[in-house]
């Protein structure tokens, strides 16, 4: 990760350190997926797809909010009811808490420490934050543009402030109706003087993936909005995709295509040659995974009798 950041051009001498914002991008999620968090993550899922029926008719539709988690197992609601059962099943077998949020915060703290160590050598002032594709109610501030969810993106919509009703066990304890009326990670970096924002993605282990593309695209939108309002030209760079392969290979027709529209009429075919991902190709990342795998081995089983299964998100 740091090797990728070091590849940035900081050669120009400056009397004052340049301020670079670093966003650590992860998938996100709750350590205990309850009804409240299931409601939020279900709607967060569809915020990135303006062609989807949930975006058009539910996210900012107050009369429909009580139906989300009680909708049953139907795909139009991202299977919210079955998702709640699935996570309850999984979390119970993890000891009652999913350790991922704690591990993410620990990784982020380590990244901040490493950036601080590099800052003086590069004559750079690093400011860092975490961006997530989805998250619990407490993690709403980590979404790329929380106020995009808060403010209606459809005609006659209602601000997203739902905290439950009698239908779904509400009002939910600790629920803040203003949870989306906050700055997101990019906005916080900009307010700290970031002259450039660099996104380092580990959403699915560092590979380029559509969920991160959602976060990158939304981050670029909020930064473009900031630039327009403030007369600035702050760029956003995705370290995992320095040649913009994902953008270049995006479907060409119909315009503004999203998954809700089905297969595109015209796709874009771009050769992979020269379109490297420096994060996933970093030997340090491979070594980190190898160390973690080895640490999980059962010491009572011989190495020759131990198998390692790699599971892909797909």
Q: What average pLDDT does range 240-261 have in this prediction?
A: 94
Whether 93 and 104 map to the same domain: the answer is no
Residue 11 confidence (pLDDT): 45
| 173 and 115 belong to one structural domain | no
Are 36 and 85 in a shared domain? Answer: yes
Whether residue 138 is contained in a domain is answered as: no
Do 88 and 111 sit in the same domain of this protein? no
Tokens encoding 194 = 């970031």
CB 130 within 8 A of CB 108: yes
> Residue 123 falls within a domain, yes or no?
yes
Report the mean per-residue pLDDT for the chain: 89
- In a domain? residue 103: yes
In terms of domains, do 194 and 289 share one?
yes
Average confidence (pLDDT) over 75-83 = 61
Tallying the residues shown for the chain, one arrives at 314
Is residue 140 in some structural domain? Answer: no
Which residue in 70, 61, 75 sits closest to 35, CA to CA? 70
Task: Say yes or no: 112 and 251 in one domain.
Answer: yes
Q: Which segments of the chain are extended strands (E)?
A: 18-26, 124-132, 196-201, 236-238
301 within a domain of the structure (yes/no): yes
Query: Same domain, yes or no, for 246 and 296?
Result: yes
Give the whole-angstrom CA distance, residue 307 versus residue 201: 28
Domain count along the chain: 2
Q: Is residue 171 domain-shared with residue 278, that is, in the same domain?
A: no
Are residues 106 and 93 part of one domain?
A: no
Are both 87 and 160 inside the same structural domain? yes
Claim to verify: residue 46 and residue 82 sit in the same structural domain: yes
Domain of 59 in residue numbering reads as 32-98+146-179
- Residue 305 counted as domain residue: yes
Minimum mean pLDDT among 12-21, 51-60, 260-269: which range? 12-21
Q: Averaged over 26-30, what is the pLDDT? A: 89
Segment 207-228 mean pLDDT: 96
pLDDT tens-digit profile of 191-215? 999 999 999 999 988 999 999 999 9
Q: What is d(CA 86, CA 260) in angstroms, rounded to the nearest whole number?
A: 24
Residue 75 three-state SS: helix
Domain-ending residue, one of 125, 160, 179: 179
Residue 138 DSSP symbol: G
State whether 154 and 232 are in the same domain.
no
Spatial neighbors of 144 by CB under 8 A, at least 6 apart, are 131, 184, 185, 186, 215, 218, 219, 222
> What 8-state DSSP symbol labels residue 184?
-
pLDDT digit string (tens) for 152-191? 999 999 999 999 999 888 999 999 999 999 999 999 999 9
Return the structure tokens found at 182. 């906050």
Residue 191 domain flag? yes
* pTM to 2 decimal places: 0.88
Whether residue 125 is contained in a domain is answered as: yes
């Amino acid at each position: 990760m740091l090797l990728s950041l070091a590849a940035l051009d900081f050669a120009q001498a400056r009397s004052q350190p340049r301020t670079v914002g670093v966003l650590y991008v992860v998938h996100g999620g709750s350590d205990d997926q309850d009804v409240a968090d299931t409601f939020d993550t279900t709607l967060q899922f569809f915020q990135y797809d303006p062609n989807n029926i949930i975006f058009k008719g539910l996210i900012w539709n107050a009369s429909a909010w009580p139906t989300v988690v009680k909708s049953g197992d139907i795909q139009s609601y991202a299977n919210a009811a079955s998702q709640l059962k699935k996570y309850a099943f999984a979390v119970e077998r993890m000891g009652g808490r999913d350790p991922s949020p704690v591990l993410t915060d620990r990784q982020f703290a380590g990244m901040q420490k490493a950036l601080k160590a590099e800052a003086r050598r590069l004559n750079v002032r690093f400011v860092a934050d975490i961006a997530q594709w989805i998250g619990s109610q407490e993690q709403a501030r980590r979404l790329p543009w929380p106020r995009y969810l808060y403010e209606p993106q459809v005609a006659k919509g209602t601000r997203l402030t739902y905290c439950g009703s009698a239908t779904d066990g509400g009002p939910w304890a600790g629920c803040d109706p203003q949870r989306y009326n906050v700055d997101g990670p990019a906005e916080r970096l900009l307010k700290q003087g970031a002259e450039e924002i660099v996104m380092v993605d580990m959403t699915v282990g560092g590979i380029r993936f559509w969920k991160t593309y959602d976060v990158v695209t939304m981050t670029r939108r909020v930064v473009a909005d900031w630039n327009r309002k403030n007369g600035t030209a702050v760029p956003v760079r995705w370290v995992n995709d320095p040649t913009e392969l994902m953008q270049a290979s995006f479907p060409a027709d119909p315009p503004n295509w999203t998954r809700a529209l089905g297969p595109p009429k015209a796709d874009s075919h771009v050769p992979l040659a020269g379109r490297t991902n420096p994060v996933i190709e970093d030997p340090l990342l491979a070594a980190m995974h190898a160390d973690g795998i080895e640490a999980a081995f059962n010491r009572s089983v011989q190495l020759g009798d131990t198998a390692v299964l790699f599971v892909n998100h797909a």
